[in-house]
Structure 1
Amino acid sequence: MATMSDVAKAAGVSRATASYALRGDPRIAPETAERVRRAASDLHYTTNLSARSLRSGRSGVIGVAIFELDKPYPSEMSAAVSREAARHDLETIVQQTSNSKEREISILRKVTSQLCDATIFSPGNISPEEITALYGGKPLILLDDISDEPLFDCVFTPCEDGAAAAIRHLIDIGCEHIGVLGVDYNALVDDRQSTTVSGRRLAGALRAFDEAGIDVDERNFIPVDHWGTPGAREAARELADTAGGLPFDGMFCMTDSLALGAIRGFADAGVHVPDDVAIVGFDGINEGEYSVPSLTTVSTDLNDLAAKAVGLLLDRLDEDARNLPQEERAGVRRLTADYRLIQRESTRR
């Protein structure tokens, strides 16, 4: 079986150059890359790429690196991206970043740069500068990029407008004392938090309160570690035990998982949703439709998010295929997915 060294020798290049060429690295001159691919094909070197990809320089595979795939929303998002990719005859390799910087680095270095034509990536612990050094020059689309000076195309979830819609809905159904579960009121004091998902949802909630002329302070906001269902359940129990009674008649939860945990915690304490407290979640996960009560939610349009992310990716792949010089390529683009508020039993009074 031919090795990478055999391919390099046949093409008259170094082993490193041969490796980069077979991965489609744009830093390799087109004529050199073609010579390497021809040598690999002649030697039947197909360990990492199919014969088709050796001819075209493409594998037909995109990477999808998402946090916490064991939770409903990231899993449903990945499925939507995979469906959209399949519509364009692309396969997907889905990886879990696990909120670990080392894991994110490993995925970029070992998987996406070597096996994939392009990547849709949800960064959590790695800086744009580190991404630039690791991603191998292939198209990279970020999800919810938190950087102040964007280097890559990005698709955002509709955090600010969606959170504002949730607060307005609670006001519209008559709630006068509204709590927000899952974020610290003082989070925006740290500029680095302002572009995070939680920071943008907090900003949207504060905007809606301000527009409605409702004064809020830190007592209206209840942080929950890791946005986990168990933490939300415990927080709801504690709120139900507040001296003088439950302080809220409406609650916006930063995610549907938090909302479902809160509903369970209130039920444990004998508090009824929506009669005693109305609850709105955010994300639109499938479980919310079947909970008791069913969950009112700000539902991110995952099909729209996937279409926008894959569309950006295809545009960048097309620019690479045409070898456009940098000055003729589109600038960094930032899109936001659509959303809709779905009213169900948890706010139906």
Structure 2
Amino acid sequence: MSTSKRVTITDVARQAGVSIKTVSNVINNSGSMRPETRERVRKTITSMGYSVNYSARSLKTGVSKLIGLATFDFTQSFTALFAQSLIEVARERDYGVVINTYDLDGTGLPEAVDRIPSLGADGWIFLSGKPLANEGAILQQQYPIVFVGDFDAYGKADSVRVPSREAMDALVSRLLAKGFRRIGLIGAPEGVDANNVMQASEGAGPLRLRGFVEAFSRLGIPVDWNLVIPESRWLSSDGERAIRDLLGRVACPEIIICLNDALAFGAVHELQRMGLQIPQDVQVIGFDNVQECQFSTPTLSTVDLHMEAFASAAVDMLIGRINGDTGPFQTVTTDFTFVERASTRALR
């Protein structure tokens, strides 16, 4: 963790050649000034990595403490589930949450980081939808950061990781032990196959596919790659399309594992539209255990990634840094459980 002196509003004012009041007006998007002055101050704020110290401000004004969440948009069910868990955990610890989103199809996390200096949280939790560039250089900021998800932090920040590989390995091992062999998988990453899957070290898709393959390999059973369907977006519409692709070329598997619940909802809908009964004709398992799993028809079996524990670990690590912890960076991997509902009979 950086030990450099925190940039103050006075430092920004001096560097930009304006008054402290002017910097304050820019931060709060108020006051009257020339557009070029406002832009110069904004660029100075960004280049110096300044953020409002709400902890110090709260001592004077009673303003609530804030932590920030920088995340990709909420098209993925996991993102919404994590954000809600994070808000609840933070509230229990007397913190509010400010959310800063970015477009996965754009520059990614750097887009959100550019806005952080004006958002005023004491520290930030970064959820990335893609690998970090430059060996995680973006994590080296002047404010505390905890990096969460399935990607490598390169030792540049505390991190909390989802047990993607471990959970999939355990799930498939259980299914193989019960005698199932024709196990399909929907949501595999593009470009990852039998030749390179064992090299995967980060990312939910590559790691879950690796866990899938490792479970087969341990028992000396070959993976039927005809039953593995790539899908990159992991939306319900992708699950529907994947089922059409899968059943258009092979007989229906005994079990279909989807790499998130949204894919599973789409897969179930398309299977039923084709006249197949679940779980009598084919069993379906999702990943994440979003709330809708309890209300789908049939209710969806899934892998519960213990989202509350995941969010709690991130918030507690961040608050520790906010409160002055300067110890070595840590990486925590949370736990998982299988939740069997009406879409399977295989997990008992």
TM-score (norm 1): 0.77
Partner of 1:196: 203
More off after superposition, 300-309 vs 287-296? 287-296
Q: 1:222 aligns with which of 229, 232, 245?
A: 229
> Secondary structure of the residue that 1:227 maps to in structure 2?
coil
Q: Gapped runs of 5+ residues in structure 2?
A: 1-8, 28-51
Deviation string 1:292-315 (CA, Å, 9 cap, x unpaired) is 111111111011001100111012
Q: Which residue of 1 aligns with 2:39?
A: none
Q: Is the 8 A contact 1:128 1:151 kept in 2?
A: no
Aligned to 2:313: 308
Higher helix share: 1
SS in 2 for 1:176: coil
Map 1:73-152 to 2 at 5 A: 73-102=78-107, 104-111=109-116, 114-125=119-130, 127=132, 129=134, 132=137, 136-144=141-149, 146-147=151-152, 149-152=154-157
Amino acid at match of 1:304: A
Number of positions where the alignment pairs a residue of Structure 1 with one of Structure 2 = 308
Q: Which residue of 2 aligns with 1:52?
A: 57
Offset at residue 125 of structure 1 (A): 4.6
| Aligned residue among 275, 281, 286 for 2:286 | 281
1:28 corresponds to: none
CA contact (8 A) 1:182 1:227 kept: yes
Output the amino acid matched with 1:252. I
1:141 offset after TM fit, Å? Answer: 0.6
Deviation at 1:114, TM superposition (A): 4.6
CA separation of 1:100 and 1:297: change in aligned 2, threshold 3 A = same
Rounded Cα–Cα distance in structure 2 between residues aligned with 1:101 and 1:158: 27
Q: Does the aligned pair in 2 maintain the 1:108–1:134 contact within 8 Å?
A: no
**CA distance in 2 between partners of 1:310 and 1:176 (Å):** 41
Match of 1:270 in 2: 275
Change (3 A) 1:147 1:229: same
SS in 1 for 2:217: helix
Shift of 1:238: 3.1
Matching of residues 227-238 of structure 1 within 5 Å: 227-238=234-245
Question: Compared with structure 1, are the counterparts of its residues 151 and 171 closer, same or farther at alpha carbon in structure 2 (3 Å cutoff)?
Answer: same
Alpha-carbon distance in structure 1 between the residues aligned to 2:103 and 2:65: 26
* Separation of aligned partners in 2, 1:137 and 1:157: 26
TM-score by length of 2: 0.77
Change beyond 3 A, Cα 1:13–1:98: closer
Letter in 1 for 2:244: R
Using the TM superposition, give the Cα deviation of residue 16 of structure 1 relative to its aligned residue in structure 2, in angstroms: 7.3
Cα gap change, 1:192 to 1:108, in 2 (>3 Å): farther
CA distance in 2: counterparts of 1:210 and 1:93, whole angstroms: 44
Describe the SS at the equivalent of 1:95: strand
Overall identity of the aligned pairs, in % = 26
| Paired residues of 1:113 and 1:138 also in contact (CA < 8 A) | no
